A and B are shown apart, each in its own frame.
Chain A
């Protein structure tokens, strides 16, 4: 009797394992993957109003505790933000100059995305998985937002939209291991990929120029135009050289503070087909 029961249990386990493996395999198939994506979007559409409500309730509570613990840090950040507002106001005033002057200023400031239409939004939920670095924002196809569009913050690149419903979108952060972007560090082109708390750079061209600590990497616009050029990605935190003195490894820390993201801007930009 016990042997029969054990056999039945193992048979159940085997059947469920086979079904699970089949489901995982089917998710890599184009048509089935799209169907699964539609189902997931439907679920996200149902849950996003509740996530917004929960975020609006829990966020102030969290802010109370954070404010009490980090008062000094918040005061410093407040002063920094005021300075940044001043810079942005000055840049906005510059845009009132003639087009030729504005283009020249953009080149000098390495800003080439100020004339891209954009939509401002808010984070409504952090990552659903402990193994993916994503956020959910309150912008969807209704607001003209869709997969592939870059997401930026006040200080740099946040990530890219990987799925959208009518009212919400999932953003893959630049820290996620699936994320990659072409960047320019000085005169050299690199490929940056997410590495958990920062990004790791892979050289795309041989160079004798060694980056220095604190040097800012910006999007190069070279990765098939997936991102407009000139968006700050992060600053160099470590440079490793080989025994022969050649550049071996570069790590950068993101420009954006991902522990305090609340407001984002989606650039309505898609890579050319």
Chain B
């Protein structure tokens, strides 16, 4: 069963991230693009908690992100679900090899491919002017943003997902406890 306190913590992290992104990070415009904390959330959650955690947080983080965007509602949720799941499947930190540098590198890589995947999904559902040269700049800026934001976000998930074994939707976590410890 789901732990209410864990859901509350996760919701708190997502809402706070949305606030920081919209009030602060959107003001940091470099060559026409800004860091994307809302993309970092499902990536770091996937790395630390596994594919399912990444997908769930990707969905709710995407919905929260779409509340302040002018793009179609649900687009971020659709993209982040896949990104969080994919990162959690391919880059999850295995127990016993839990180095912060590996997580940070994985987050940066996830941000780069996540931005490209988001653009492809947006273009697929008919958003014009997405696949252009500015996409390269955006990918680099978001990747660098992921590099800078990874560690504080991992710490936030360490607090919010401390009971990860009971967080996932009915499935059991890998034996040996949470990958965050």
Complex interface: chain A residues within 8 A of B56 (CB): 12, 16
- Asked if A9 and B59 sit within 8 Å, CB to CB, the answer is no
Q: Which A1-59 residues have C-beta < 8 A from chain B?
A: 1, 4-5, 8-9, 12-13, 16-17, 19-28, 33, 36, 39-40, 43-44, 47, 50-51, 53-55, 58
With beta carbons under 8 angstroms apart, the residue of A8, A24, A162, A195 that contacts B72 is A24
From B5-13, B20-28, B96-104, B153-161, give the one contacting chain A.
B20-28
A174 to chain B minimum Cβ distance, whole angstroms, is 12
Give the docked Cα–Cα distance between A22 and B75 (Å).
10
Contact with A along B140-181 (1 / 0, CB 8 A): 011000000000000000000000000001111000000000
Contact with B along A127-145 (1 / 0, CB 8 A): 1111110100000000000
Closest Cβ neighbor of B122 among chain A residues: A131
Chain A contributes a number of interface residues (CB within 8 A of B) equal to 52
Query: Is A102 interfacial (CB 8 A cutoff)?
Result: no
Give the docked Cα–Cα distance between A158 and B181 (Å).
52
A26 to chain B minimum Cβ distance, whole angstroms, is 8
- Asked if A50 and B23 sit within 8 Å, CB to CB, the answer is yes
Give the docked Cα–Cα distance between A131 and B116 (Å).
11
Q: Which A196-216 residues have C-beta < 8 A from chain B?
A: 196-197
Give the docked Cα–Cα distance between A8 and B51 (Å).
11
- Asked if A131 and B127 sit within 8 Å, CB to CB, the answer is yes
Closest Cβ neighbor of B141 among chain A residues: A130
- When A8-B169, A194-B129 are in contact, do A131 and B71 touch as well, CB less than 8 Å? yes
Give the docked Cα–Cα distance between A50 and B21 (Å).
12
- Asked if A47 and B19 sit within 8 Å, CB to CB, the answer is yes
- Asked if A172 and B70 sit within 8 Å, CB to CB, the answer is yes
- When A23-B74, A47-B19, A126-B29 are in contact, do A176 and B69 touch as well, CB less than 8 Å? no
- Asked if B70 and A54 sit within 8 Å, CB to CB, the answer is no
- When A16-B81, A125-B26 are in contact, do A132 and B69 touch as well, CB less than 8 Å? yes
B167 to chain A minimum Cβ distance, whole angstroms, is 12
- Asked if A28 and B72 sit within 8 Å, CB to CB, the answer is yes
Query: Is A178 interfacial (CB 8 A cutoff)?
Result: yes
Complex interface: chain A residues within 8 A of B33 (CB): 130
Please list 7 pairs of residues, one from A and one from B, whose beta carbons are closer than 8 Å in the complex, sorted by A's number. A9-B52, A24-B78, A50-B23, A58-B27, A126-B26, A131-B118, A132-B69
Chain A residues packing against B (C-beta within 8 Å):
1, 4-5, 8-9, 12-13, 16-17, 19-28, 33, 36, 39-40, 43-44, 47, 50-51, 53-55, 58, 125-132, 134, 162-163, 170, 172, 176-178, 194-197
Other A-B contacts than A177-B127, A178-B128, 19 sampled, CB-CB below 8 A, are: A5-B172, A9-B50, A9-B51, A9-B171, A13-B52, A13-B81, A16-B59, A17-B78, A20-B59, A24-B125, A27-B74, A28-B72, A54-B24, A126-B29, A130-B142, A131-B130, A132-B70, A177-B128, A196-B129
